[in-house]
Structure 1
Amino acid sequence: MSTTLQWFKSTYSSSEGGQCLEVATSTHAIHIRDSKNPAATGPTLQLTPAAWAAFTADCAAR
């Protein structure tokens, strides 16, 4: 069974710069990609939910 990821950008992103990340969640991973390269074959970074939580907590603390 194949599952299509539902990608989204932050509501803080604008349509001007194109320097955004898109994120999709699945059961065991957080998927991240460059919004300028949304093709299904483009590179993605996959993190565990725990690693994503640590990353976003660190970003919020800055």
Structure 2
Amino acid sequence: MSSGTSELAWFKSSYSGSQGDSCVEIAIAEQVIHVRDSKDVTRPAFAVGREGWSQFVRFASER
């Protein structure tokens, strides 16, 4: 993972609760979507290509 993830604009889903629930944050970059644990942002993030992210969101939306 590149060291440049700290400069990204991270956000959580509007469906996330404010009680400190388990959640992920994402940051949208030109080529990839970065994903990290919102409770421990010091852990490494991972990145997924835009097409893979789109497929994941479609799958999750169907559930």
Distance 2:8 2:21 in 1: 21
Question: What's 2:13 paired with?
Answer: 10
Distance 1:21 1:15 in 2: 13
Q: 1:3-28: CA deviations, max 9, x gaps? A: 82000001111121330110001001
Q: Hey, which bits of structure 1, 4+ residues long, moved more than 3 A?
A: none
- What percent identity do the matched residue pairs reach? 39
CA-based RMSD of the aligned residues comes to 1.6
Q: Which has the higher helix share?
A: 2
Secondary structure of residue in 1 paired with 2:52 = helix
So what's the TM-score if we normalise by structure 2? Answer: 0.82
For structure 1, the 5+ residue unaligned runs are none
For structure 2, the 5+ residue unaligned runs are none
Size of the alignment, in residue pairs?
59
